[in-house]
Amino acid sequence: MAENDCRSQLIAAATPLFAAKGFHGVGVRELAAAAGVNISMISYYFKGKEGLYAAVLSEQFSTLKSVAQLATAQGDPLAKFELYVRATVARYRKTPYLLRFYTSELTNPTPCFESIVKPAIRGVLRVLLDNFYEGVSSRQFRSDLNPADTVLALAGMINFYFLLEPATAEMVDHAPERDEELIRHVMELLARGILA
């Protein structure tokens, strides 16, 4: 097996295991067996389970780097917020384990939280804050709103929707075919609120 293939195979096998059981719930024997490799390969490629977990988190959270493109995207600040919502929906459709890693690291942080997770989340919030300030300076957004609260509410709306999917399947159709409707609702709530 080629070196890159073995490394990739370990990451691919470890991702759903760590997502389902958390860092502490998975042993190196289980990881090696799932990847179909000798247990020593985990140490060889990653210097142990911690390194493999860090590689999995790095891969999962690297998808958030695309949010930085909002800064140079065309459109007004509200249109850029819509791009963020669209990208978030697409990200969860493409990377279904990401939310599990979010919740696991936020509720039971590992050493990877400070080096991988927190910087990724802060990077997204910084881009959203900058966009909010742009909207205030162009008088598109209200200046009496707390910028951090506003961007956390936006991020929270779309992230929480996907987080609650297992508990709300009987109440809400979470099918990808409804994504446009979901995006429209989130943007209407952000732009206009719920008052008639």
Report the CATH number that the domain containing residue 173 is assigned in CATH.
1.10.357.10
Quick one: 38 and 117 in the same domain?
no
Confidence bin at 193 (pLDDT 50/70/90):
confident
| Domain boundary pick from 39, 59, 79 | 59
| Domain boundary pick from 18, 35, 59 | 59
Confidence bin at 117 (pLDDT 50/70/90):
very high
* Domain around 8: 3-59
Quick one: 75 and 146 in the same domain?
yes
Quick one: 139 and 123 in the same domain?
yes
**CA count, 13 A, side-chain hemisphere, 162:** 24
User: pLDDT at position 2, please?
Assistant: 63
Quick one: 75 and 161 in the same domain?
yes
User: pLDDT at position 71, please?
Assistant: 86
CATH number of the domain encompassing residue 17: 1.10.10.60
Quick one: 64 and 136 in the same domain?
yes
Q: Which residue in 175, 194, 173, 196 sits closest to 185, CA to CA?
A: 194
Question: How many domains are there within the chain?
Answer: 2
Quick one: 184 and 153 in the same domain?
yes
Q: What is the pTM of this model?
A: 0.89
Quick one: 93 and 154 in the same domain?
yes
Residue scoring higher pLDDT (3 or 63):
63
Average pLDDT over residues 30-57: 96
Do 14 and 97 form a contact (C-beta atoms < 8 A)? no
For the chain, give the mean pLDDT.
Answer: 94
Condensed to tens digits (0 to 9), the pLDDT of residues 132-151 reads 999 999 999 999 999 999 99
